[in-house]
Amino acid sequence: MSRFCRLRLYKRKATLIINIKINRRTFIYLIGFFYSSILKSESVCNKTPRQPKGPFFKENKTTSINDLSNNGKATGELIKIEGKILDESCKPYPFCEIDIWQANSYGKYNHKNDFSENKIDEFFYGYKKITSDKNGNYFFTTILPGSYKISKDIVRPPHIHLLIKTKNKKSLTTQIYFKNHPHNKNDFIFNSVKSKSLLEVSLKKSNNIFKGLFNIII
């Protein structure tokens, strides 16, 4: 084989090797790009819908223990709600203040403006302010709230009010509802939002207490 032919063959091999390296490099880059895109698309949390504060809010100035049930003395089914407070990128909000208020198991608020004839439970607190931890985790123990009438024909389903305030001054007022409760379908406040499932919690019994997971996205 002549020197000229050997030179041309060498150049072809070198070009082929360069192309293979570029193709491998491009392939690895594309794999990394698509993988990071998938991770990015998965790291999206849907915001928790806002709900009205209602007429029975009263501010708690200091935080306290995470128990509205008075150590189980309040009448009603004991429940525990827990979850995380996150932003839309699913990153936790640390040390948030959470105001919690609700009706007792008879459907009455511990509030001077609740003029209903529903029964008062002197052992039920009804109002608490708690704080999430450094990872955005929170929990509280309470009793399953009762339904109550707001007019002759309108009954509000069991729900728990929350007001969340982050360290960077963001806030959210919302309500927790209980999945598959029969009064949910006719409640005008619950049905005012499209993503109703983001306001619902499912309860499962564990060691004599019903537990539910409710993540809050601000």
Q: Which of 93, 106, 127, 161 is an active site residue?
A: 161
Q: Exactly one of 93, 109, 127, 138 is catalytic; which is it?
A: 109
Pure H helices in the chain: 3-42
CA separation (Å) from 5 to 9, 13, 14, 17, 72? 6, 12, 14, 19, 93
Is 8 a known active-site residue? no
Distance CA 217, CA 50 (A): 10
β-bridge partners, 174? 162
- Examine the residue annotation and report whether 106 is marked as an active-site residue of this protein: no
Q: Is 151 exposed, middle or buried (0-12, 13-18, 19+ CB in 10 A)?
A: exposed
> Which candidate in 106, 125, 138, 159 is catalytic?
159
159 among known catalytic residues: yes
Q: What is the DSSP string of 82-119?
A: EEEEE-TTS-B--S-EEEEEE--TTS--SSTT----SP
Active-site choice (156, 177, 181, 183): 156
> Which residue's structure tokens are 């909000």?
93
The CA distance from 81 to 99, in Å, is 14
Which residue among 93, 106, 138, 148 is the active-site one?
A: 148
The catalytic residues are 109, 148, 156, 159, 161
